Amino acid sequence: MADSKIKGLQEHTPLFLQKGLQYLPDDLLRRVFEVGYEDHNNNNNYNYNNHKSGYVFAMRVSSVSSHFRRVALDSPRIWRRVNNYMSADILTLLIDRSKNADLYITVKGECYDGPKPQPLESFMKTVIKECHRWAAFSYDRRVDGDGVSILCQYPDLQLPRLSSIAYRTHCPDEMMARDALDVFRRWNLPQLHHLSIFNGFVHDAAGWASLTSCTLNLDWHNHRLGHGDGEWDVCMALDGLTVLPSLESLSLIFSSFEESKFFSSIRTPLDFARLKTLSLTFYTCNDEGFITSLVCSNPYPSLQSLTLKGERDFSGSVTLALFADKLPPLTSISVEEFERVRPFDELNKVHFFPWKIVRLKDIGGLSENDVTVISEALMRCPQFQRLEILHCSSNLKWHLRTLKSRMGNRLLLRTYIKSSSLTYNFTTKFSGSLVSDSIANIARFKTVSTQRFLPLPSIVIFLRDKVPLARAFSVFIEPTDVELSVHLVIWWFFVAREQTLGTI
């Protein structure tokens, strides 16, 4: 099936390379820009020190052609992210071009070997004038040598649109961790619903009771550096979350807790009566101890979705039957990047579990027996809808094909595809309005007979010297994903012509 689809793509490539985006309506192109803008910023979140991530996409898209520039300047949502590493001129330009769109304000800490930010005082004086447009505020305490003295100069701020606050503190002692959020308690935040904390406590319910979403990132290495050989109690940080009675979504991220003495002492149940979504991520941790304490010893009467993310080189195994027994309301579970899953024979002993969707992603040690037992147990459940096995062991390929014939569309498979199986070599120079002449429609192939979009595996863009300029993407395009497919093409183009940016 895959071979025939690839052949169809290759046969119809010349036809669809003849036309570009010149006939795409401005409204659709604007939406493509907005999707690409969000995707670019999401993909660059891993690099906290990427100071240009807030505006580089908008700058690139506005320099492609006069058509793109006109649409980009009429797209305020792609100019709305600002940070303290922008020059005063760039900052003013973005605020002006964002018009009345929501603003995303980021105050980043200073890097030892990177560019220097502009003075925090001048940055705050500029953005504070637009505080009525703030939608998200992210603050790194490293930027302020006197703690949060700069923020304290702006008490009683009226922030009618602010829905998200993110706060980061590095190497804190317990006092600093406890005082982390005090500065925000004096702000008027009627729309606040999400809070993200890196090494801090939520210790007071005042002003936070309406929060419905929270991310807590605890790094024991930072704790240890904060005050010698000591370690502040992670259990107390978790207990602080119980002052959020309206919490519906919780993400907990633990780093470098392989030696921590506190995780094993999590004995007091965390009462989250309304919690519907729980995500647990472990980096270099004794994840088994955390999972047992956080999942199996706590009542989550409303929990519907659970995600467990590990680190393949360190994380151990997960037993699905444990969650079927301890979390009866659960309908969706995802396990990612663990070395293996334990035998699932215990699932046969659980009489009923209403799981609809089970996702196993990047499980290196997943065996044929594991897959067989899981699928058989799930097929007995009347609510079961889909089992997703993504990027797991290549040794399962033939077994999964057999299983697919039995389960049909209830089994979703996705495995790594060698990029050499479908590689397009573009020899056109990346200049001018390349989008309209070359790669614009690479993700929008149709077959004349079916008029359906085909799945596009992996694409790499090359110059004449065959040096790859864009990473390989694994893209599966459905008929309704026109905007997404076009946006991916535009992003490949931007990566390729990074060295030829025009004026802003």
Residues 440, 486 within the same domain: yes
Residues 61, 123 within the same domain: no
Give domain status of residue 403, yes or no.
no
Residues 437, 448 within the same domain: yes
- The per-residue pLDDT of the chain, averaged, comes to 73
The beta strand positions in 220-287, using DSSP E, are: 249-255, 277-283
**pTM as predicted:** 0.76
Max avg pLDDT among 114-118, 123-127, 256-260: 123-127
**Domain final position from 101, 128, 162:** 162
Give domain status of residue 13, yes or no.
yes
C-alpha to C-alpha distance for 405 and 408, rounded to whole angstroms: 6
Give domain status of residue 472, yes or no.
yes
**Domain final position from 114, 144, 162:** 162
Q: What is the 3-state secondary structure (H, E, C) of 9-39?
A: HHHHHHHHHCCCCCCCCHHHHHHHHHHHHHH
C-alpha to C-alpha distance for 104 and 165, rounded to whole angstroms: 10
Residues 107, 74 within the same domain: no
Residues 11, 66 within the same domain: yes
Q: What confidence tens digit (pLDDT) does each residue in 65-108 have?
A: 888 899 999 999 999 999 999 999 999 999 999 999 999 999 98
pLDDT at 320: 85
Residues 111, 132 within the same domain: yes
Residues 104, 74 within the same domain: no
Q: What confidence tens digit (pLDDT) does each residue in 421-476 have?
A: 333 333 223 333 333 333 333 333 322 222 333 333 323 332 233 333 333 232 32
Which domain range does residue 143 map to?
Answer: 82-162
Give domain status of residue 392, yes or no.
no
Q: What confidence tens digit (pLDDT) does each residue in 128-187 have?
A: 999 999 999 999 887 766 556 788 888 889 999 999 999 988 777 777 777 778 888 889
Number of domains in the chain: 2
Give domain status of residue 311, yes or no.
no
Residues 436, 494 within the same domain: yes
Residues 73, 141 within the same domain: no
**Domain final position from 162, 177, 198:** 162
Residue 351 CA: distances (Å) to CA of 91, 325, 356:
60, 9, 15
Give domain status of residue 444, yes or no.
yes
Give domain status of residue 135, yes or no.
yes
